[in-house]
Structure 1
Amino acid sequence: MDRATLDKLYNNREAVPTHPQDIARWATESARARAELPCHADIAYGPHPREILDLFTLAAPGGPLLVFIHGGYWQAMSKGEAALIAHGFVRDGLANVATINYPIGPEAGMDQIVASIRRALLWLWHHAPAYGYDRDRIYVSGHSAGGHLTLMAMLTDWPALDAGAPADLVKGGFSISGVYDLRPIRLSYLNDKLGMDDAVAARNSPLLLLPASTSGLPPLTCAVGGAETPAFLQQQHDFVTAWKARGGQVTAITAPDKHHFDIVDQMAQPGAVLQTAMAAMLRRGG
């Protein structure tokens, strides 16, 4: 496809004229979560100013941890718009929730962004005893760019980064409106701030990093809105097909009538399709 076509297919804000209201709602609901739920705010997990996280904890110790990674095409947004998902899990005692910030473009490149996510997860694994969650039950979810980063976390060789960390540090993944092949992104307007070359896009594309067999990897759920652009529907189809072809466990969800923004609310609403699927993953331990 030429750049004009890719620009249109990947411009979610242009495709959803109501996106300012959606983002404003996320911010309002996230502020309410931080005010109403037990929250350890702005914990530093690394040296970069954006390497901070919020941790929403359950009253009872020993519960699982759900880590949520915000979207924004690796160049916008923050955990300040992501904490609303704590409503769907902390209030009903299903899981502790961590929402994380990470460096973004153009200041940070994709390699640095991915390294930051891995640093956050290692920090959360090491510091579980201090905050009372079970470090052997860490799950990762994210939206859009966060969906991409969810898969980069799942495909990480953890012992290679930290000899004490288990290979299965992440027990399950839930990607929402994810981007799994960065090659189209490199050819679109989005790369103006990301500056990826072919090599960077390739080594950070989950679709290109799948092992010969995915049967030993944690269970995965991929969700996309039925009203999203064809690019996002294709990204999910191609990735789920490749994961299944290699023998892995994956559930594909298409949320009817949901677009790229209002699909996120599904994680904040108990009983909604995405929240129910994530809760089921937490309950069955993978």
Structure 2
Amino acid sequence: MARSSRRRRWPNLPKAAAEMVDRFGWSPVALLNTIDRLTPGRGDRARKLGEGLRFGPHARHHLDVWAPSHPDSAKLPIVVFFYGGGWHSGERTDYGFAGAAFAAQGFLTIVPDYRLVPEVRYPDFLEDAALALRWVWTNAIHYGGDPARISVAGHSAGAYIAAMLALDPRWLAAAQLPSDTVKAGVLLSGPFDFAPFREWRGRATFGSHHDPAETQPINHVRADAPPLLLLHGRSDRLVYAKNSRSLDAALTAVGAPHEIKIYPGCDHAGTVVALSRPFRHRHPVLADAAAFLRSVLGLPTSSSKE
């Protein structure tokens, strides 16, 4: 009997391990970033133009700017990348590999920090993200960026942030940005339809809000939303792929432009890990994202690739 009981618990181990890693703040991202940085060749493709630039009044209101080492345009399309961490952890300095990855594909790439739980709750981090977007819209031109071609991207909680900026017009309006500022979005392994909040991250971040439905990206779909690319791992046991499938169905129902790709054998971290050069061969996340953005932004279909 005991042996059978242990066997039944094995399928839950991947999710339990992911929960423990996420809850206690241990993350291999910093190590991954170091490995990516030390891999020969990154400097030939991407360079950091700005580090720790302030975009707002709070201590975490800083961002980094990455650019192609050899830009093929004087006005580069822009990607603003928001990292994940369950809204309670994460540092922009650990995600240089993501900034460098998009930059090497020909995009001026911005990686901002934002305030985290428990210092803040929903919607403060969305206000931070919109403020970072306003800085980009105002200042990216000084770094070779084109404010008329801004896209948002993110992984996990960062994909949630990117989705809300793309779908819910309140955040751009609050930051005094034009309603069409975001031209496209790339959403990696994001939570888009997860109310009611049954686990600790959701309760801590959104549980005190008076209207849970208002916090969900799926409830803000609209026909005139910017084109979105939903990328998810089929083996994700932290944020299940049904989140992307549900958003896909909702976007389809209103006729909003979008695409979805589900990667077999890819777990929750797999989509963002695949942006790094040592693991890029595992899943074509960067190639799919770059191709999508070039298509919807009317750019040449290829650029220098690592």
TM-score norm. by structure 1 comes to 0.84
- Tell me which residue corresponds to 1:87: 100
Q: Which amino acid aligns with 2:94?
A: E
Superposition pairs of residues 187-226 of structure 1, within 5 angstroms: 187-191=198-202, 193-194=204-205, 196-197=207-208, 199-211=210-222, 214=223, 216-226=224-234
Q: Secondary structure at the match of 2:53?
A: strand
Q: Which amino acid aligns with 1:267?
A: L
The percent of aligned pairs where both chains have the same amino acid is: 24
- Tell me which residue corresponds to 1:4: none
Once the two structures are TM-superposed, the CA of residue 24 in structure 1 deviates from its matched residue by 4.1
Could you report, residue by residue, the CA deviation over 1:154-193 in whole angstroms, capped at 9, with x for unpaired residues?
Answer: 0242663355x33211110010010112414x33122454
Once the two structures are TM-superposed, the CA of residue 21 in structure 1 deviates from its matched residue by 7.1
- Tell me which residue corresponds to 1:57: 67
Q: Which amino acid aligns with 1:50?
A: R
- Tell me which residue corresponds to 1:257: 265
Once the two structures are TM-superposed, the CA of residue 138 in structure 1 deviates from its matched residue by 0.7
Q: Please, which moves more after superposition, 95-104 or 248-257? A: 248-257
Once the two structures are TM-superposed, the CA of residue 262 in structure 1 deviates from its matched residue by 2.4
**Structure 1 consecutive aligned stretches of length 4 or more whose deviation exceeds 6 Å:** 7-10
2:11 is the counterpart of 1:23: no
Q: Secondary structure at the match of 1:199?
A: coil
Q: Secondary structure at the match of 1:102?
A: coil
Cα distance in structure 1, aligned partners of 2:49 and 2:276: 16
**TM-aligned CA distance change 1:46 to 1:21, over 3 Å:** closer
2:125 is the counterpart of 1:113: yes
- Tell me which residue corresponds to 2:85: 72
Once the two structures are TM-superposed, the CA of residue 31 in structure 1 deviates from its matched residue by 5.4
Q: Secondary structure at the match of 1:41?
A: strand
* Alignment length (residue pairs): 272
Q: Which amino acid aligns with 1:64?
A: P
CA RMSD of aligned residues (A): 2.9
Alpha-carbon contact 1:182-1:205 (below 8 Å) kept: yes
Of structures 1 and 2, the one with the larger relative CO (CA 8 A, separation 6+) is 1
Gap regions ≥5 residues in structure 1: 1-6
Once the two structures are TM-superposed, the CA of residue 50 in structure 1 deviates from its matched residue by 0.6
Q: Which amino acid aligns with 1:268?
A: S
Q: Secondary structure at the match of 1:105?
A: coil
Could you report, residue by residue, the CA deviation over 1:260-279 in whole angstroms, capped at 9, with x for unpaired residues?
Answer: 11221223346752111211
Alpha-carbon contact 2:193-2:246 (below 8 Å) kept: no
Q: Secondary structure at the match of 2:146?
A: coil
Alpha-carbon contact 1:62-1:132 (below 8 Å) kept: yes
- Tell me which residue corresponds to 1:43: 53
Cα distance in structure 2, aligned partners of 1:162 and 1:20: 33
Alpha-carbon contact 2:191-2:239 (below 8 Å) kept: no
Once the two structures are TM-superposed, the CA of residue 47 in structure 1 deviates from its matched residue by 0.6
Q: Which amino acid aligns with 2:121?
A: G
1:143 to 135, 147, 155: 155
2:192 to 150, 170, 180: 180
Q: Secondary structure at the match of 2:134?
A: helix
Alpha-carbon contact 1:22-1:261 (below 8 Å) kept: no
Cα distance in structure 2, aligned partners of 1:77 and 1:30: 18
Q: Secondary structure at the match of 1:172?
A: strand
Q: Which amino acid aligns with 2:163?
A: L
User: For the pair shown, which has the larger CA radius of gyration, 1 or 2?
Assistant: 2
**TM-aligned CA distance change 1:95 to 1:203, over 3 Å:** same
Cα distance in structure 2, aligned partners of 1:153 and 1:81: 23
- Tell me which residue corresponds to 1:3: none
Gap regions ≥5 residues in structure 2: 1-11, 298-306
Once the two structures are TM-superposed, the CA of residue 222 in structure 1 deviates from its matched residue by 0.7
**TM-aligned CA distance change 1:230 to 1:42, over 3 Å:** closer
Q: Secondary structure at the match of 2:29?
A: helix
Could you report, residue by residue, the CA deviation over 1:193-214 in whole angstroms, capped at 9, with x for unpaired residues?
Answer: 4262353532221112223xx2
Q: Secondary structure at the match of 1:54?
A: strand
**TM-aligned CA distance change 1:32 to 1:63, over 3 Å:** farther
